[in-house]
Every structure is written in C-alpha cells, then in structure tokens.
Chain A
Amino acid sequence: GQSLEQPSEVTAVEGAIVQINCTYQTSGFYGLSWYQQHDGGAPTFLSYNALDGLEETGRFSSFLSRSDSYGYLLLQELQMKDSASYFCAVREASGTYKYIFGTGTRLKVLA
C-alpha cells in the first residue's frame, strides 16, 4: 500500500528557513499536496506539485522528485504563526482515487 513518511517534529527560529521532507512508497499518484493544520483546526491546503521541480507560493515552496520518491515543503522567513503541523498527501492513480496523508510534521517556531 501507500505510505508517506515525515519527520515528527522540526524546530526553527523566527526569520529562518526550514525544510519539511516527505518520502513515499507508492505505485502511482497524480501529484504531491501539502497542508497546514493549526492546533484545534482543520487542515488547509498550501501547495501542489504535479510535475517534478519547485513550485513557489509566497514564502512557501514545494518540491517533488518522482525518481527519488521524495518531496519537501520549504518555509522561508519563518513567523510565529507558522507554528503548526504540516502534512503531505497524494491521490492514488490506480483507479481508487484514494487520498492518503503523511504522518505529519509539527513545526515549532521560536522567538
């Protein structure tokens, strides 16, 4: 089956750059998505990579390498409000269209 692994926790200081990795084992998927979830809230969509390479959306960028079964979310100019959990997700291309989430990474931003 599909599995998406992420580091459980990452800590960085305000103004820094942090990278959250997502390694996956899957037979096929449409693309890699990223979500942010603040404590007590629901996940919200951040970005999507259909093809290999870097996608940039403001302070956030996301990268995908299908040949390496690897992707990452890059957060620049960290702010306190970026403290949250981050999840990668894929949709199976096998015909089931199952939408699977990674294990999640909790980001702590320190002042």
Chain B
Amino acid sequence: NAGVTQTPKFQVLKTGQSMTLQCAQDMNHEYMSWYRQDPGMGLRLIHYSVGAGITDQGEVPNGYNVSRSTTEDFPLRLLSAAPSQTSVYFCASSYIRGTEAFFGQGTRLTVV
C-alpha cells in the first residue's frame, strides 16, 4: 500500500519557470490538500479538494493552480516561480471527515 506519493523530492527552478508537483493517493480519500512549510510558519494551506472536479483556495493560494480530475491525483502547478515560493511542499489526503491526514514525503523547492 503506497499511501500518498509525492514527486519530485527536490527541485531547483529559475525565476519565471513553471512546474507541476505531482501527488497521488491510493486510499480512495475524498479530501486532498497542499501545504507549504516555511521555517517558523507551520503548515499553511495552499489549495484543497473535497472530491474530483471540486477545488478551493486555502490561506496562501496566489501563484499556484490545482485541478482534481480523478480521486487519486491532485497536482499543484506553479505558474511563474518566484523566490518567495522557495519552501517545502506537502501533499496530504484523508477521508472528508477523517481524523487523520496522511502526508507525502514532501518536495523541497528552491527558486533562484
């Protein structure tokens, strides 16, 4: 059972480049979400989804897009990378009223 698979683990981008962070889960969870984690800032919600075809913004959505075409996949797109987007990104999934969220291994992104 793979759980939540997040790729890549590390990425360096130049300012202005675009890229997609991949996230897939095999637990049939309705809820999926993306967080960014900066030192001393905790986990801040970027975007989330409560099911295929449904997405919504979290606390810090600017500069990011998401889509949810299937239950399993929830990619995060950086449209035009900026140094302020240097962070560690985590994808998580859970049942819609679940008490526990399951996390991917994280992506350490550096924008230069």
Answer whether A and B are interacting partners.
yes
Q: Interface of A with B (CB < 8 Å)?
A: 1, 8, 30-31, 33, 35, 41-45, 48, 50, 87, 89, 91, 96-104
How far in angstroms is the closest Cβ of chain A from B18?
25
Are A42 and B96 neighbours in the complex by a CB distance under 8 Å?
no
Q: Are A101's CB and B99's CB within 8 A? A: no
What is the minimal beta-carbon distance from B66 to any residue of chain A, in angstroms?
Answer: 14
Could you mark each residue 69-112 of chain B with 1 if its beta carbon is under 8 Å from any beta carbon of chain A, else 0? 00000000000000000000010101011111111111000000
Contact, CB under 8 Å: B99 / A99: no
Cα A33 to Cα B31 with chains together (Å): 16
Out of A96, A99, A100, A104, name the residue touching B56 (CB < 8 Å): A96
Q: Is B96 a contact of A100 with CB atoms below 8 Å?
A: no
Contacts A99-B33, A102-B42 known; A33 to B103 CB distance under 8 Å?
no
Chain B hits for A87, CB < 8 A: 42-43
Most chain A Cβ neighbours within 10 Å, of B42, B50, B96:
B42
Do A99 and B48 form a contact, CB below 8 Å, given A45-B100, A48-B99?
yes
**Is A104's CB under 8 angstroms from B43's CB?**
yes
Cross-chain pairs A/B with CB under 8 angstroms, 14 sampled: A8-B40, A30-B99, A31-B99, A41-B106, A42-B104, A42-B105, A42-B106, A45-B101, A91-B97, A96-B50, A97-B48, A97-B96, A98-B56, A101-B42
Kindly provide the distance from the CB of A58 to the nearest chain B CB, expressed in whole angstroms: 17
Q: Are A104 and B103 in contact (CB under 8 A)?
A: no
- Residues of B29-84 whose CB lies within 8 A of A: 31, 33, 35, 40-45, 48, 50, 56, 58-59
Q: Does A99 contact B31, Cβ atoms closer than 8 Å?
A: yes
What's the minimum C-beta distance from B110 to chain A, rounded to whole angstroms? 15
B100, closest chain A residue (CB): A45
A57 to B32, CA, bound (A): 27
CB-defined contacts of B56 to chain A, threshold 8 Å: 96, 98
A41 to B52, CA, bound (A): 28
